[in-house]
């Protein structure tokens, strides 16, 4: 184990002693909110320290076994013990490294997926629809629930813009790496001479905020408009002004919802999208400040980044952030994204581990 990791674990052991002493203070017990917060931290730290103590015990066992190798009667047992200790040390070190990884507090949240056509005109809109289908098929495979929030259809059946809400287990953890620019290379349906065109879409994945977060918005900062739904949604929707558009005046951020017959429910959904976009803006601002201090290997959240290319003639997907290339584009477009997501998560974990080891 590297010294930097060992130092951090020793610090955690000291922190555990501090927490134990603090929680024993009657004054702390009288403040239930603080007590619960400290108790949660104590449980998390204790779990890591317990593994660290087990790691140290197995290190001592390994050292003791080395000393017994020269003993003719104990040498065989010593070799067996050394093998067992070495296996435990490898396992415990991996668990400790994982436990020290920074946790994204949004990982367990539901998410909004926003897809917008970019350069490429009608072909870009058709690709936006193909991306929407890819993500919805992935959600079906995961057993997640999807809900259309708003859409703006193109003339040929694509999307100028579409927003979905995805609900399920750890949705944001799986989809958060999808934010960025997605480029497609293929022969468009509108191309009569068989030439390959390049177009692009942008995808934004936003964690769904807590319902209580709505209370933090100043009503004076909001402009709420009603309008007649223009997309799919049934005859009733199209005949009433049930669609809602909410504008956050200080930032100019806009959210709308038009898929429900109830104006009240559309307002609640649009407000949820607005809050998610405002939170994402704050996250991006923080990421930009952090990027000035350390190198970020996996996207900064900049929507203009080209993160991935879909090359249909070659059946190839390339994720430019980690240099991943897969020749299984048809399966991926049908929702088989697990291999791509796992590779991105592994690269992120490696980056975090390097940051921990370097003491950043």
The answer to the question of residue 358 being in a domain is no
Full DSSP string of 305-352:
SEEEEEETTTTEEEETTTTEEES-HHHHHTT--HHHHHHHHHHHHHHH
pLDDT in tens, 216-226: 678 888 898 88
For residues 194 and 261, state if they share a domain: yes
C-alpha–C-alpha distance, residues 16 and 246, integer Å: 47
For the chain, give the number of residues. Answer: 360
For residues 318 and 232, state if they share a domain: yes
Contact 321, 299 (CB under 8 A): yes
Contact 309, 112 (CB under 8 A): no
198 pairs with which residues across the strands? 185
- More confident call, 75 vs 181: 181
C-alpha–C-alpha distance, residues 17 and 351, integer Å: 30
pLDDT, residue 17, reads: 92
Average pLDDT of the residues in 315-319:
97
pLDDT in tens, 289-299: 655 543 443 34
Q: Is the pLDDT of residue 325 over 90?
A: yes
Q: What is the number of alpha carbons within 13 Å of residue 37 lying toward its C-beta?
A: 6
Average pLDDT, rounded, for the chain: 84
Average pLDDT of the residues in 187-216:
79
Q: What is the dihedral of CA 353, 95, 174, 103, to 10 degrees?
A: -60
Q: What is the pTM of this model?
A: 0.66
Task: Compute the chain's Rg from CA coordinates.
Answer: 26
Confidence of residue 13 (pLDDT cuts 50, 70, 90): very high
CATH code of residue 36 = 1.20.58
Both structure tokens of 204: 């934004």
For residues 215 and 74, state if they share a domain: no
Q: Is the pLDDT of residue 355 over 80?
A: no
Confidence of residue 75 (pLDDT cuts 50, 70, 90): confident
Which residue from 113, 166, 147 is spatially nearest to 265, judged by alpha carbons? 147
Both structure tokens of 113: 């997926």
C-alpha–C-alpha distance, residues 134 and 153, integer Å: 17
Q: Is the pLDDT of residue 113 over 60?
A: yes
115 pairs with which residues across the strands? 162, 203
For residues 59 and 119, state if they share a domain: no
Beta strands per DSSP E along the chain: 111-117, 145-153, 159-167, 180-186, 197-207, 222-227, 243-248, 253-257, 306-311, 316-319, 324-326
For residues 44 and 125, state if they share a domain: no
Pairing of strands 180-186, 306-311: parallel
pLDDT, residue 357, reads: 66
pLDDT, residue 303, reads: 41
Q: Is the pLDDT of residue 272 over 80?
A: yes
139 pairs with which residues across the strands? none
Q: Looking at the 3D structure of the chain, how many domains does it have?
A: 2
C-alpha–C-alpha distance, residues 322 and 301, integer Å: 15
For residues 154 and 257, state if they share a domain: yes
Q: What is the number of alpha carbons within 13 Å of residue 8 lying toward its C-beta?
A: 18
For the chain, percent of residues with pLDDT exceeding 70: 88
For residues 242 and 201, state if they share a domain: yes
C-alpha–C-alpha distance, residues 171 and 86, integer Å: 37
For residues 38 and 147, state if they share a domain: no
Last residue of a domain, one of 100, 122, 157: 100
Backbone angles phi, psi at 47, to 5 degrees: -65, -40
The 10 Å Cβ neighbour count of residue 22 is 15
The 10 Å Cβ neighbour count of residue 35 is 16
Last residue of a domain, one of 76, 100, 124: 100
pLDDT, residue 189, reads: 75
Q: Which residues contact 350 (CB under 8 A, 6 or more apart)?
A: none
Confidence of residue 108 (pLDDT cuts 50, 70, 90): confident
pLDDT, residue 146, reads: 94
Query: Residue 39 is part of which domain span?
Result: 3-100
Q: Is the pLDDT of residue 338 over 90?
A: yes
Last residue of a domain, one of 65, 100, 135: 100
Average pLDDT of the residues in 323-333:
96
C-alpha–C-alpha distance, residues 153 and 258, integer Å: 13
C-alpha–C-alpha distance, residues 318 and 329, integer Å: 10
pLDDT, residue 50, reads: 93
pLDDT, residue 298, reads: 39
For residues 221 and 269, state if they share a domain: yes
Q: Is the pLDDT of residue 360 over 80?
A: no
């Amino acid at each position: 184990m590297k010294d930097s990791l060992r130092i951090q674990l020793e610090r955690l052991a000291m922190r555990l002693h501090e927490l134990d002493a603090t929680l024993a203070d009657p004054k702390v017990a009288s403040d239930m909110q603080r007590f619960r917060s400290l108790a949660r931290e104590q449980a998390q730290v204790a779990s890591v320290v317990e593994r660290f103590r087990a790691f140290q015990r197995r290190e001592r066992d390994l050292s003791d076994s080395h000393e017994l190798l020269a003993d003719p009667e104990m040498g065989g047992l010593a070799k067996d013990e050394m093998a067992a200790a070495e296996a435990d040390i490898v396992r415990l070190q991996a668990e400790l490294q994982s436990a020290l990884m920074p946790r994204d507090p949004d990982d367990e949240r539901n998410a909004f997926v926003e897809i917008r056509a970019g350069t490429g005109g009608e072909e870009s809109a058709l690709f936006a629809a193909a991306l929407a289908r890819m993500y919805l098929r992935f959600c079906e495979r995961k057993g997640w629930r999807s809900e259309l929030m708003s859409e703006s259809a193109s003339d040929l059946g694509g999307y100028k813009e579409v927003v979905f809400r995805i609900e399920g287990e750890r949705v944001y953890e799986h989809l958060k790496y999808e934010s960025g620019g997605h480029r497609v290379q293929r022969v468009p349906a509108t191309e009569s001479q068989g030439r390959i065109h390049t177009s692009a879409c942008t995808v934004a994945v936003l964690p769904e905020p807590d319902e209580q977060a709505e209370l933090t918005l100043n009503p004076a900062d909001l402009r709420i408009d009603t309008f007649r739904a223009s997309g799919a949604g049934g005859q009733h929707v199209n005949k009433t002004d049930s669609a809602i558009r909410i504008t956050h005046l200080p930032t100019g951020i806009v959210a709308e919802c038009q898929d429900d017959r109830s104006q009240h429910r559309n307002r609640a959904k649009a407000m949820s999208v607005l809050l998610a976009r405002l939170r994402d803006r704050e996250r991006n601002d923080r990421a930009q400040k952090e990027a000035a201090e350390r190198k970020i290997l996996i996207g900064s959240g900049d929507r203009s980044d080209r993160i991935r290319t879909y090359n249909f003639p070659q059946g190839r997907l390339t994720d430019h952030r980690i240099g991943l290339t897969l020749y299984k584009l048809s399966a991926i477009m049908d929702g088989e994204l697990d291999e791509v997501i796992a590779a991105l998560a592994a690269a992120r974990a490696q980056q975090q581990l390097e940051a921990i080891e370097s003491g950043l």
